Chain A
Amino acid sequence: MNTILIINTGSQSTKIGIFRNGEIQQKYEIQHTQEELRQLNTTEKKYNFRKTKIEEILKKLNFNLNSLSAIACIGGILKPLPGGVYLVNDIMISDIKRGNVQADHASNLAACIGYEIASQVNIPCYMADPISTDELSGIARVTGLPEIPKFSRTHALNVKARARKLSEEIGKPLENLTFIVAHIGGGLTVNLVKNGKIVDIEDARQYGPMSPQAAGGVPLPDFVKLCFSKKYKEKELVKFWYGNGGLVAHLGTASIPEIEKKIKNGDEKAKLAYDAMIYQVAKAIGALYVAAKCKINGIILTGGAVHSMFLVNSLKTYIENLASVYVYPGEEELLTLGKLADMALNKQIVIYEYK
């Protein structure tokens, strides 16, 4: 039986899981404070910080590395890649360390740390469905300006896991199914999943719906005006747009429970902003529905925000006439990574080589 160590380096926390026998047997999470993180000004410092934390956890769990069959790591923002399970290799590590990636993001550290530990005990290290999974169809990439094509940066791991789960529930192979998967968390992506591939996307980073933290699409004249207003330096604008826009900008918080509490207390402004986010998600789902020629096998709602029945029910009023709606709250990153690595070890799925 395979025992797999799973490493997930999130932007605010580090998570560790031990997968065996189809389940997460043990898990551990350390939250990092803003202060701790702010001091880490080089990739090396970030790496050492996380690695020390992980070693501490392993010591606490009193875990023997020699009992491991493999390590599975969260996939970060690397270069654009087709989704799937990758064997972490020297080329990937060198790309991450040299910055040959789309963004310097905490999630990229998992593979580096996992690879180092795996090398010590001579077992394979896997990474799966990274955030930079890009399988968009040619037609989805075309925008109104040749120099700014659309690309994909998405919650691929959770999106694909939910699509696999629904295909099992329906009892048909994923290869014959088309789903729309809306992942609503701090970030927000609405994905058209066709034959297991994410062929089109509407997301808060490009011009799709706003999210709790990202502003999403706005009319171009307004945006150009903002860019030229000198109110923001380039980096500040990026940070504002992707981290402090959306519900945060309207309401000062990205917390769905907090916002729903405001609404219950009669806060009209909170209700309007929250409704607007839901409305925009609905429009994105409608757009992808037509992109698929209206032939879809289900709409999946997933991610942290989907724990809210208020959100699910409001969204459903717009979309329930299009297709059956399935709700899978939260994301099970550790379990998904464990299952994928297990299948990889058992040679049940293709393992991609990173080049």
Chain B
Amino acid sequence: MASYRILVINPGSTSTKISVFEDSVELFRKNLQHSPEELNQFKELIDQFDFRKQIIENELKEHSISLSSLDIIIARGGLIRPVKSGIYKINQKMLSDLLNPSIWGRSHASNLGAFIAKSMADEIGIPTYIVDPVTVDEMEDVARISGVPEIKRQSIFHALNIRSIARKTAQKIGKPLEECNLVAAHMGGGIGIAAIHKGRIVDDNNALLGMGPFSPQRAGSLPLHGIIDLCYSGKYSKKELERKLLKQSGLMGYLGTDDGIKIEQEIENGNKEYENIFFAMAYQISKEIGAYATVLKGKVDAIFLTGGLATSKRLTHWIIERTGFISPTYIFPGEEEMEALAEAGLRVLQKKETPKDYL
């Protein structure tokens, strides 16, 4: 049986991850690091296009993988318009939306993926797609309403990893994903909690800067009277405050570090402050899982914990101590974005899933 060769491209803020798969077997993976000096020479994110593309092509050459041997290129999806989950063909509309800051008001390195993938794929005439971008939005209407009509709650989360792990969790339970009620917690730099009702993500806390638990760097929900005080104090510009809430809050705000290994080390050494703050994060994650279990009316087949922080036994133990009564909990440490992207590519090539058009 002929095998398929799949190139996966996943640009992050300080690195570009690439992988080549032959069907389900990974031939090689490389995390290409970019130094601040290299990246600082570019004014806009899109200016990094040639630089990152060149590095990828060099790397493929080094592994003696010719472009023409590829069957498909899959990229991580960026900040496009809200879409249903699934696999999307990269088209002009998508590329122009990725360049349009009015949609999200910010850019993200993952936006580059579609540009690089499309450019390489067009050179050799093969199909190219993105999968479950962070803007997947399948929220119920009732979940969108906030206490102010002008402010709509939005869905932003680690759709790719969460949906991939949801599929795996469903396998463990022994039911099709479409029949499962799950609560997902992706715990990384941001922390995303989602309620999955019969396979559809009906509500999530918005991991980018939404509500819910604080994360290693981000603030999570805050008492709003305190935010009013800060905003009107004259101490911060809007940009400074946004940066503080996105980068200098959470573990970083309390401990001056978001390095999980260092924090665990300090706790081992009996540092009570570190333990208290790390525990508070676990407490907030647990509470958010409880909130989303209630969205599912308490009928939860399983909870799963994933993302980089799920490697911390201390953290997962603290969470399960509180949530354990709701349902069984499965732990999938780290993330499997590259696998998830490759698997999606394979499903397309094997005609098991029909890609959607981005409209």
By a beta-carbon cutoff of 8 Å, the part of chain A in contact with chain B is 138-140, 142-151, 204-207, 209-211, 214-228, 234, 237-238, 241, 245-246, 249-250, 272-273, 275-276, 279, 282-291, 293-295, 317-322
Contact = CB atoms under 8 A, between A and B. Distances in A.
A269 B42 CA distance: 47
Contacts, number: 213
A246 B147 contact: yes
A249 B241 contact: no
A219 B210 contact: yes
A146 B149 contact: no
A283 B220 contact: no
Main secondary structure of the interface of A (DSSP, over half): helix
A224 B209 CA distance: 11
B146 A216 contact: yes
B225 to A, nearest CB: 7
Given A143-B214, A144-B250, A223-B227, A215 B148 contact: yes
B31 interface: no
Contacts of A279: 142-143, 295
A279 B146 CA distance: 11
B149 A144 contact: no
Interface stretch (B6-14, B168-176, B317-325): B317-325
Given A283-B295, A290-B322, A145 B245 contact: yes
A290 B293 contact: yes
B188 to A, nearest CB: 15
Given A218-B148, A250-B149, A318-B297, A283 B223 contact: no
B253 A321 contact: no
Given A218-B151, A286-B291, 14 more contacts: A142-B283, A144-B250, A151-B223, A207-B222, A210-B147, A215-B147, A218-B224, A221-B242, A228-B238, A249-B149, A275-B142, A283-B292, A290-B323, A293-B321
B147 A218 contact: yes
Nearest to B227: A223
Given A145-B222, A228-B231, A218 B295 contact: no
A77 to B, nearest CB: 13
A286 B322 CA distance: 12
10 contacts: A143-B219, A151-B223, A219-B153, A223-B151, A234-B228, A276-B142, A276-B143, A279-B142, A289-B290, A291-B287
Contacts of A217: 146-147, 211, 221, 224
A353 to B, nearest CB: 30
Q: Chain B interface: which size bin?
A: 35 or more
Contacts of B142: 272, 275-276, 279
Contacts of A289: 290, 294
A1 B326 CA distance: 50
B213 to A, nearest CB: 8
Of B210, B288, B294, which is in contact with the most chain A CB atoms at under 10 Å from its CB? B294
Closest 4 CB pairs of A and B: A286-B294, A290-B290, A144-B214, A210-B147
A319 B298 contact: yes
Main secondary structure of the interface of B (DSSP, over half): helix
A302 B283 CA distance: 26
Interface string B128-152: 0000000000000111111111010
B145 A272 contact: yes
Given A214-B147, A276-B142, A321 B287 contact: no
B293 A286 contact: yes
A207 B221 contact: yes
B353 to A, nearest CB: 32
Contacts of A234: 228, 232
B129 to A, nearest CB: 30
A220 B232 contact: no
Nearest to B254: A146
A219 B224 CA distance: 10
Contact of B295 (A207, A282, A293): A282
Contact of B219 (A144, A222, A246, A319): A144
A221 B299 CA distance: 32
Contacts of B232: 227, 234
Interface stretch (B44-52, B158-166, B274-282): B274-282
Contact of A220 (B146, B219, B287, B297): B219
A223 to B, nearest CB: 6
A294 B325 CA distance: 6
B270 interface: no
B111 interface: no
Nearest to A137: B283
Contact of B154 (A205, A219, A319): A219
B286 interface: yes
A187 B297 CA distance: 25
B76 interface: no
